[in-house]
């Protein structure tokens, strides 16, 4: 379903080309996006076309044709995406998939986000209708709008959504997966030749990529905001990133890692948060001969999270988080996505000033508390590339449990 975008629908009055819609409404956008836990259909258009916009959304969501031709095109798109995933120079999407598989092995957000190649031929109209019958239900949907009166949107919802009969027929869903994410920790390794990933006049050197993560918390918990501040405080990026303080050049992964170790090409912190769990990770890349040193540097940064936090760096992280929040909300598509996601997850929406107040209330003791709690968990590790010098998983776990983050000494009789 995440590759269907805006398919053809039952009602021929909706099947109009996008250029024709643009002629009527002006500048328009029709998109479909998805995450680990949500799928969003969105249309941006002139407010005068609200009735037609809601009608379009209702038809696309409830009455897609899912013809054989469309399904065949979707299968081709999935095959191309899987090929591109393994060939692209940026391994971040693949590493994100791997770190979730390691952290939540065999359950919920640890299941594959990208369709396994062996499942492509199994995609058919019956399978998709069965999925939509189970998960496209009113209690799991939110209709959000920005730049429009609430009463107008409510009238359109009643007109096109209330009591609408979906194409897959009515009735109670048969199977709903209500599993709660179970954090397991572990390691996922993919040995791969990365020497020819980016050929050309200035090829990217062969790199080994490591991502280490620990369980954080759900976005429904009070500790979500301290974790967001901690993630901003770690920051990071590529060794050739340009910019000043607003780009995170004074974050820990820049100051302590990239500025001190010239051989590291990347060190970036990520925070993934869901309704029942979360994952804070650091992605690093370097020459395959430096893998052991790179892993030790990252484990040391994890242990330092539970140490002292300076007032200047804490205030800088909070200010940067607030400015990023407010800048993102300058865009209307981001606003209605924010409204939809918050209402779907919590039943209400926190306004920007409320979130800013919560960020301001974060103290250094909160950062230390959540980091100390996080470090008690088993790590999740994803490794991609030449892994000859990758430390054992038990050694990585021991380093994260130590005070200084150092890996246990390993001795070799022969080199």
What is the structure's pLDDT at 38?
86
**Cβ-Cβ contacts under 8 Å for 183 (sequence gap 6 or more):** 103, 104, 215, 277, 377
Strand pairing class (39-44; 29-34): antiparallel
Name the residue among 359, 386, 131, 35 with its Cα closest to residue 225.
Answer: 359
Q: Half-sphere exposure of 341 toward its Cβ, with a 13 Å CA cutoff?
A: 20
Rg (CA), the chain: 24
Domains and CATH numbers, the chain: 18-160 (3.30.830.10), 186-401 (3.30.830.10)
Residue 268: its H or E element: strand 264-273
Angle among Cα 319, 323, 324 to the nearest 5 degrees reads 115
Look at residue 265 and give its three-state secondary structure: strand
**Cβ-Cβ contacts under 8 Å for 335 (sequence gap 6 or more):** 146, 329
Q: pLDDT tens across 33-53, in order? A: 667 788 888 888 888 899 999
Tell me the C-alpha distance between 45 and 345, whole Å.
26
Name the residue among 288, 128, 261 with its Cα closest to residue 195.
Answer: 288
Q: Which residue stretches of the chain have pLDDT < 50?
A: 11-28, 242-246
What is the structure's pLDDT at 385?
94
Name the residue among 132, 197, 151 with its Cα closest to residue 1.
Answer: 132
Tell me the C-alpha distance between 27 and 44, whole Å.
8
Given a contact cutoff of 8 angstroms between Cβ atoms, the answer to whether 231 and 271 are in contact is yes
Name the residue among 14, 400, 391 with its Cα closest to residue 210.
Answer: 391
Given a contact cutoff of 8 angstroms between Cβ atoms, the answer to whether 212 and 381 are in contact is yes
Tell me the C-alpha distance between 307 and 321, whole Å.
21
Stated length of the chain:
415
**Cβ-Cβ contacts under 8 Å for 256 (sequence gap 6 or more):** 301, 304
What is the structure's pLDDT at 413?
53
C-alpha distances (whole Å) from 263 to each of 196, 200, 266, 291, 303 are 19, 22, 9, 11, 22
Starting at the edge strand that comes first in sequence, how are the strands of the sheet with 208-215 ordered? 186-191, 380-385, 208-215, 278-286, 264-273, 236-238
Tell me the C-alpha distance between 68 and 202, whole Å.
44
Given a contact cutoff of 8 angstroms between Cβ atoms, the answer to whether 50 and 26 are in contact is no
Q: pLDDT tens across 248-262, in order? A: 578 999 999 999 999
């Amino acid at each position: 379903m995440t590759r269907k975008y805006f398919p053809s629908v039952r009602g021929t009055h909706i099947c109009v080309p996008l250029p024709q819609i643009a002629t009527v409404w002006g500048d328009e956008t029709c998109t479909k996006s998805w995450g680990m836990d949500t799928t969003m259909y969105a249309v941006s258009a002139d407010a005068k076309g609200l009735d037609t916009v809601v009608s379009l959304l209702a038809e696309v969501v409830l009455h897609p044709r899912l013809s054989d031709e469309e399904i065949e095109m979707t299968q081709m798109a999935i095959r191309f995406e899987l090929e591109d995933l393994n060939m692209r120079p940026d391994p971040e999407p693949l590493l994100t998939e791997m770190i979730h598989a390691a952290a939540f092995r065999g359950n919920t957000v640890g299941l594959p986000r990208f369709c396994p190649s062996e499942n492509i031929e199994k995609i058919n109209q019956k399978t998709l209708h069965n999925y939509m019958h189970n998960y496209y239900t009113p209690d799991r949907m939110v209709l959000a709008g920005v730049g429009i009166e609430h009463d107008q949107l409510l009238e359109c919802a009643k007109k096109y959504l209330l009591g609408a009969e979906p194409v897959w027929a009515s009735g109670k869903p048969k199977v709903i997966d209500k599993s709660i994410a179970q954090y397991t920790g572990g390691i996922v390794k993919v040995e791969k030749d990365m020497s020819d990933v980016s050929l050309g006049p200035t090829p990217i050197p062969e790199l080994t990529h490591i991502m280490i993560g620990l369980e954080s918390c759900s976005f429904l918990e009070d500790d979500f905001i301290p974790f967001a501040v901690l993630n901003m405080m770690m920051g990071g990026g590529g060794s050739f990133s340009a910019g000043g303080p607003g780009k995170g050049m004074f974050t820990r992964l820049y100051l302590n890692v990239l500025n001190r170790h010239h051989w590291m090409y990347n060190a970036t912190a990520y925070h993934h948060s869901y309704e029942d769990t979360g994952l804070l990770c650091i992605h690093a890349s370097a020459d395959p001969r430096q893998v052991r040193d790179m892993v030790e540097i990252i484990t040391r940064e994890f242990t330092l999270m539970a140490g002292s936090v300076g007032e200047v760096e804490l205030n800088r992280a909070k200010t940067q988080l607030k400015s990023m929040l407010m800048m993102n909300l300058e865009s209307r598509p981001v606003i209605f996505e924010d409204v939809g996601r918050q209402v779907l997850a919590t039943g209400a929406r926190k306004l920007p000033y409320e979130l800013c107040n919560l960020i301001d209330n974060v103290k250094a003791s909160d950062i230390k508390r959540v980091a100390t709690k996080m470090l008690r968990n088993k790590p999740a590790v994803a490794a991609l590339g030449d892994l000859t010098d990758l430390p054992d998983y038990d050694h990585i776990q021991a380093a994260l449990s130590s005070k200084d983050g150092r890996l246990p000494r390993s001795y070799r009789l022969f080199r």
